[in-house]
Chain A
Amino acid sequence: MGDLGTLLDLTFLFTAILLAGAISGYLSERSGIVNLGIDGMMCVGALFFGVFSSSAFWGGTPPFATIIVALLLTMICTMIMGVMHAFVCIHLKADHTIAGTAINLVGLALSTFLNPTLAGLLNPGESRIMCKYNSCLPVGNSLFGSSIIIFAVVLLIAIAIFFIVNRTKVGLRFKAVGENPNAVDAQGISVFKYQWIAVLLSSAMAGLAGGLFLFKVTAFNGDVQSMGYLSLAILITGGWRIPKITVFAIVFAIFNAAAGTTTFTQLGIPQLVVFSIPYIITLVVLLFSGRKSLAPAHSGIPFEKGMR
């Protein structure tokens, strides 16, 4: 049963990470800005969380309650990447794919580059950043480990976003920006404002996902093990809808967690196949839903006032 406990625990943690990442993509794409750079933002988020969770930052081993402050600080700092992305996509009207690729490259490069130096500064003698909350909040130990708290928090955020987007005036406007920004603009609502806020929140969520990722690994390597791309896959498979995203996040998390344990290997399925199952699922879902596009109508197209 210990195996199952680890599996469940890891599933909760991975669901939280992937859901946060997918919500990051959701927020951005719903406002019409394609965010391919979730992976890079997550890398930077993990780096910042490593800084804010270190004992050097808190002056000793941080108490568990400070995790909220650390995560919030991480989210705020990761907004730098959001600013980079938003400026290029919204104001310079660059190709969102190019900008996303650039963000990915910059994020990954910065985190790998800064990782050893920062680790040496924070904890002298170490070469990799580590999360100090791992000891307070051990993951993968019991049937209902502490990761369920993280999962619950992220799920709450997801539900909150679902209700805000679908039930409130602000949320509906926000959704409309992704579908028809010119109509929104005609109503006298600032499209740029909504897009900026969306991209900043998106990067904040990616930062959160990156921060949570540090719970998974004992030491940060500089990359987030393709979690960002998985989040993107979830976003696409989930058809840009929060409930479906949540479901697929859980499914993908199960596969990812199971790949780490011996569950599938015992059944005779190689680990590598399990790793690639989420991507295959995504491709298959795309094959069947590709024709009827579920994506926001105006995502990926720079908004121009004169186009209506």
Chain B
Amino acid sequence: MLGFKKKSRLSPKFNLKIQKIIHSDVRQSTTKKIIATIVAILLAFMLALIIACSVCNAWGQFGKVMGTIFSAGFQNISSVNSLLSNMCILIVGGLAFIFAYKAGLFNIGISGQMVAGATGATLVCHLCNLVPGANQFVILIISMGLGALVAAIAGSLKAYLKINEVVSSIMLNWIIYFMSILILGMAPITRDASNLNTLAPADNLLLRINGNSFGPLIILAGVCIIFVAVVLNFTVFGRKQRVTGLSNSGALAAGYNVKANQIASMAISGALAGVLGAMLYCGFSPNMPVTAAAKAIPQEGFNGISVGLISMCSPMASIPVSLFFSMVKTSVSDLQILGIDNHIADVVFGIVVYGAAAITLFLNLKPYWLTLDIFRGKNYSKIKHERNMSNIELLSIAGDQCAILKKYFVYYQKHSDVPSTMELKPGVKIKMWWGGVRYWLVSQQAKLSVKHHQRKDLFTGKIFFKEEMAHIIVKNKMLVVDFDYKKHGGWYIKLNEKLVKSPELRTKINEVTKHNCNAQLMTDLAKVEKNFREKPFNPHGIKKTALLAYLQNIRTGLRYRINISRQNKLVYFTLQQTKEQAEAIGLGEIRSKDQYDFARTAYFKAYQKTFDVVKAHYDTMVRTFTRGKQLNIMGIRFDPATLNLLYMRNLKEEIAAISHLINCPLTKAQLNEVGNLVSKVRNLEEKIESERSQGIGYRQIAKNYLNKSKEVNDQILVDKNEINVANTRLASIVAKARNNEKVLQHEKWMAQEAANEQAERELRKYAEKRAKREAKAFRKKIEREQKEALRDSRKGVI
């Protein structure tokens, strides 16, 4: 297939490590920078060549010009010398710039510092009688010291008076330039009459071997590179410099001495510029300018800025950049023969530095994604951008099949600061990072299929049923790491606990999966697992994991064919539940011939050993069922239909699993039961043997058993009907009884009510009578009192 690269034969673990390195954010951004720089340099180079060719009317010689530029440095020893020396000079200039720039200072005064150092060195050479041999070090030290001094002035102006170092450096450049010419002109040095414009430091003090300067210069440049790279990357001092450069306020907050850092950084940069001066004037071209007629500061310092900028302030990157520039510079004299002006090198430098200024343009241009945007009408570049924002991200959308993933992502998003960008639409396209590996899962409408990622070295994935996913995660407390559809014809799951390093993530996964799993099933499985782990079971070389998965799948009602690979950790499943489901997840048969052969031999091996066992116990099982019981072993229930199917298929794993189940420790009751049955089974076995000797094959036996079991099933059905009828009858009787009871209760209640009413009535009558009586008595009493009162009054009157 086009677009599919054959997967490497590296071990998956190692492959994972490589993937992590290749796709880490740091590595990617570095790669991007390198590509942008190369593109910028090439574009600038081509632009400069186009300008040169069109101006100098050299279009006919375009190829020749290109060839000259890349070959001029390798013609003879002098051109090689020129090439390498130029390269070293550019490198050291670049390093001087880089060191200050890392501390946030733009050292535009490299030229001035260089001239200052070289002037001092020249004066010392001419005026003092130095010992040959030691003098080169003296020159270097003087040059470095003067350069550092000049740079430190600019640095302290920046630190204490807040004068922009660019402005002060430019001013210092010119002052030093004029002053050095003045001093060199006034110094009592005997000059060569033929060359009054320039001055050479004394011959015996030059940084040269046999007239060629590249040896010493390469050593010096190498030392400088190592120094700058080590100091900036591996020392506290260098780190402080970088912090100062990245954020002044941050450095202040961290308690660094920002002023001292700035001055030190400028001083070291100046010292490097001093080395540059010594290399240039005492090494490669011993021509100090002595007249100010040109009024032009030496360009080497500015070239250093170019190198530093275009190599993005990386000391290592300055080497190839310098080599390229040096090639252009060395080829100038050869180009002049072709009719191109010798300032072409400056044009290239200038345009390249402009490219460095506009590097953001190259960093953000993504031609590949742009074309995709245009031709496919989707915003791929935006997607690409978003990918950089977080590790786990949904590009679009999930259907039913990946509900588990969705949940997982939602959960993940809730518990981490991943921006939630999920939408629900048909079709699935998920990109995710797990354990440092990127998956690219895509669905088309209802069916899920996998589109290979554009990068061929990535794993491809297949989406899975949600239960399956949950189980695997829960059971192994591991992540599903790798899905590979193409190679194996099914999908395999590699389980590796070490991949989930953070305990937080582990607990999260556990929580998520618990949420998605049936609690009962979990406990069942835990029991099974425990049993297996305590008692290693491996009678026929069948992997434990395979059986575990198998048991699990029986429980969930899904049926799998299990293939065991030679590799220990890999387990292949083939889903056989329904045709549609199998299609939906794109599963098929075994595809590789290796797999097929292995499975076949394993099958036949297992067959011989296991068939007898099953044959022995099959009847037991069937009988158990015929008594209306379900065989429940270790939390897993078997029904006759399943067993029939197993038997008929003669699948080794299933047989093995069942045989194991039967060998497993049972409850006492079950053991007794089985023990009773075993003797009968043996009889049966003998019978079978006899049948077999009579010529009836296993198939026939199986058929017989099947028929038998069918009869039993029918009987069970009949019994069931009877029971149902009886049950309905009973139910009706119970209902009637209940009804009667209700009626009785009602009558009782009614009678009670009537009695109560009567009692009340009687009470009322009695009360009335009593009231009348009392009233009569009361009246009589009052009358009597009245009479007495009357009598009394009469008495009184009398």
CB distance from A261 to the nearest CB of B (A): 15
Q: A252-278 CB contact bits vs B (8 Å, 1 = yes)?
A: 000000000000000000111101100
Partner of B347 from the list A109, A233, A271 (CB cut-off 8 Å) is: A109
Partner of A283 from the list B51, B168, B346 (CB cut-off 8 Å) is: B168
Given contacts A225-B295, A282-B171, contact A290 B157 (CB under 8 A): yes
A272 to B295, CA, bound (A): 10
Partner of A117 from the list B56, B171, B179, B306 (CB cut-off 8 Å) is: B56
Partner of A290 from the list B161, B349, B354 (CB cut-off 8 Å) is: B161
Q: Is the CB of A279 within 8 A of B174?
A: yes
Partner-binding segment picked from B262-270, B355-363, B609-617, B643-651: B355-363
Q: Is the CB of A92 within 8 A of B161?
A: no
CB distance from B383 to the nearest CB of A (A): 23
Q: A74-107 CB contact bits vs B (8 Å, 1 = yes)?
A: 0000000000100110001111011101111111
Q: Is the CB of A117 within 8 A of B341?
A: yes
A32 to B475, CA, bound (A): 64
CB distance from A43 to the nearest CB of B (A): 11
- Does A197 reach chain B (CB closer than 8 Å)? no
User: A283: which B residues are within 8 A, CB to CB?
Assistant: 168, 171-172, 175
Total count of chain A residues near the partner, CB < 8 A: 50
With contacts defined as CB atoms under 8 Å apart, how many contacts are there between chain A and chain B in the complex? 142
Q: Is the CB of A106 within 8 A of B175?
A: no
Q: Is the CB of A113 within 8 A of B166?
A: no
Q: Is the CB of A94 within 8 A of B174?
A: no
A105 to B305, CA, bound (A): 11
- Does B622 reach chain A (CB closer than 8 Å)? no
CB distance from B164 to the nearest CB of A (A): 8
Q: B376-402 CB contact bits vs A (8 Å, 1 = yes)?
A: 000000000000000000000000000
A273 to B161, CA, bound (A): 26
- Does B43 reach chain A (CB closer than 8 Å)? no
User: B350: which A residues are within 8 A, CB to CB?
Assistant: 102, 105-110
- Does B181 reach chain A (CB closer than 8 Å)? yes
Q: Is the CB of A113 within 8 A of B347?
A: yes
Q: Is the CB of A94 within 8 A of B357?
A: yes
User: A84: which B residues are within 8 A, CB to CB?
Assistant: 354
Q: B156-172 CB contact bits vs A (8 Å, 1 = yes)?
A: 01000111001110111
CB distance from A251 to the nearest CB of B (A): 15
A108 to B51, CA, bound (A): 15
Q: Is the CB of A94 within 8 A of B347?
A: no
Partner of A105 from the list B296, B302, B361 (CB cut-off 8 Å) is: B302
Add 17 more A-B contacts to A113-B343, A232-B167, A279-B171 (CB < 8 A): A92-B361, A94-B359, A101-B353, A109-B350, A112-B343, A113-B341, A113-B347, A223-B296, A226-B174, A226-B295, A271-B292, A272-B292, A276-B178, A286-B171, A287-B163, A290-B157, A290-B161
Q: Chain A interface (Cβ within 8 Å of chain B)?
A: 36, 84, 87-88, 92-95, 97-99, 101-110, 112-114, 116-117, 221-223, 225-226, 229, 232-233, 236, 270-273, 275-276, 279-280, 282-283, 286-287, 290-291, 293
Q: What are 11 A-B interface contacts by the 8 Å CB criterion? A: A36-B166, A106-B351, A108-B346, A108-B350, A114-B55, A117-B56, A221-B294, A226-B296, A275-B174, A275-B292, A276-B174
Q: Chain B interface (Cβ within 8 Å of chain A)?
A: 51-52, 55-56, 106, 108, 157, 161-163, 166-168, 170-172, 174-175, 178-179, 181-182, 185, 292, 294-297, 302, 305-306, 309, 341, 343-344, 346-347, 349-351, 353-354, 356-361
Nearest first, the 5 A-B pairs at minimum CB distance are A109-B346, A105-B350, A106-B350, A290-B161, A102-B354
